[in-house]
């Protein structure tokens, strides 16, 4: 699976949009971009995933660049409860099911 | 639909003992994966089970083992515990799709193991 690069941390004000970047320059054509988040000491929570089109669900939006080498997770109206570590993961669609987690990005939402 | 459940949530053992952790997947999910999370190594894949068979294995010693039952529930076992086995152990379940592919993994709350 391709590696991902995320900045170690970022913060945003409550109520504002949080834009979390991720680079995956070696992504292959059959690899999806997944986002999970982990609130302190809890299990990772699935947020969203996509292949090449932008995706939106009730939690967030995922914007993938046309060349697929980077993506941005957007939390439209961040709340204090969105403070967590966010993991961007690239995962192939083959039989190998494992997720390879990096260090993620720590998002701090300030009041 | 109920999520992934793991028992127990917290566990304290001493070096040399063994431990068994349990995971019940989301109803209908037949693939179960296990991960270990430590401050130093982060989240690492242990193994995956599907149809009662181990399908994929991470880079962990043989002291770490698992199994899956016919109802898709899974257990993992760690024998001869070491201090470094103190970690959050996470279970994730997913559907198995055509061609052996797995769908999105959903995680349980984890079991916090402390080895003294």
CA distances from A39 to A46, A50, A87, B91 (A): 12, 22, 11, 16
Q: What is the pLDDT of residues A32-48, one digit of tens each?
A: 999 999 998 899 999 99
Q: Which residues pair with A110 in a beta bridge?
A: A13
Cis geometry, peptide bond prior to residue A5 (ω within 30 degrees of 0): no
Chain A: residue whose CA lies nearest to B56: A96
Contact A44 B42 (CB under 8 A): no
pLDDT at position B95, please? Answer: 87
Calpha distance B88→B68 (Å, rounded): 20
Contact A93 B101 (CB under 8 A): yes
- Judged against a pLDDT cut of 90, whether residue A1 lies above it is answered with no
Mean pLDDT, all residues of chain B:
94
Chain A: residue whose CA lies nearest to B6: A43
Query: Which of residues 24 through 83 in chain B touch A, CB cutoff 8 A?
Result: 31, 33, 35, 42-45, 48, 55-56, 58
Could you tell me if B46 and B34 are in contact, meaning their C-beta atoms sit under 8 angstroms apart?
A: yes
Across the interface, of B90, B101, B112, the residue whose CB is closest to A95 is: B101
| pLDDT band per the 50, 70, 90 thresholds, residue A54 | very high
pLDDT, average across residues B75-102: 90
Per the structure block, which two tokens stand in for B74? 């899974």
HEC assignment per residue over B14-62:
CCCCCEEEEEECCCCCCEEEEEEEECCCEEEEEEEEECCEEEEECCCCC
Flag whether residue A99 sits within 8 Å of chain B, measured between CB atoms.
Answer: yes
* Residue B101 half-sphere exposure toward CB, CA atoms < 13 A: 12
Q: What is the pLDDT of residues A70-105, one digit of tens each?
A: 999 999 999 999 999 999 999 887 656 688 999 999
**Residue of A45, A62, A97 to mutate for B, most B C-beta atoms under 10 A:** A97
Q: What is the pLDDT of residues B42-53, one digit of tens each?
A: 999 999 999 999
pLDDT at position A94, please? Answer: 67
Per the structure block, which two tokens stand in for A54? 């932008």
């Amino acid at each position: 699976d391709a590696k991902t690069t995320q900045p170690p941390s970022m913060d945003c004000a409550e109520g504002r949009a949080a834009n979390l970047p991720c680079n995956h320059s070696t992504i292959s054509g059959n690899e999806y971009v997944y986002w999970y988040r982990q609130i302190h000491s809890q299990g990772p929570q699935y947020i969203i995933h996509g292949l090449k089109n932008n995706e939106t669900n009730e939690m967030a939006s995922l914007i993938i660049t046309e060349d697929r080498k980077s993506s941005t997770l957007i939390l439209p109206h961040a709340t204090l409860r969105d403070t967590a570590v966010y993991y961007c993961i690239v995962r192939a669609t083959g039989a190998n099911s494992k997720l390879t987690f990096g260090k993620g990005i720590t998002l701090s939402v300030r009041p | 639909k109920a999520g992934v459940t793991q028992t127990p949530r917290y566990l304290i053992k001493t070096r040399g003992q063994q431990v068994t952790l349990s995971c019940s997947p989301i109803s209908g999910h037949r693939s179960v994966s296990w991960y270990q999370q430590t401050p130093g190594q982060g989240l690492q894949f242990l193994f995956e089970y599907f149809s009662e068979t181990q399908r994929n294995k991470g880079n962990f010693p043989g002291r770490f083992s698992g199994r899956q039952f016919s109802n898709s529930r899974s257990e993992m076992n760690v024998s001869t515990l070491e201090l470094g086995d103190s970690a959050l152990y996470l279970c994730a379940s997913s559907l198995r799709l055509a061609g052996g592919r797995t769908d999105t993994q959903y995680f349980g709350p984890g079991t916090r193991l402390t080895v003294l």
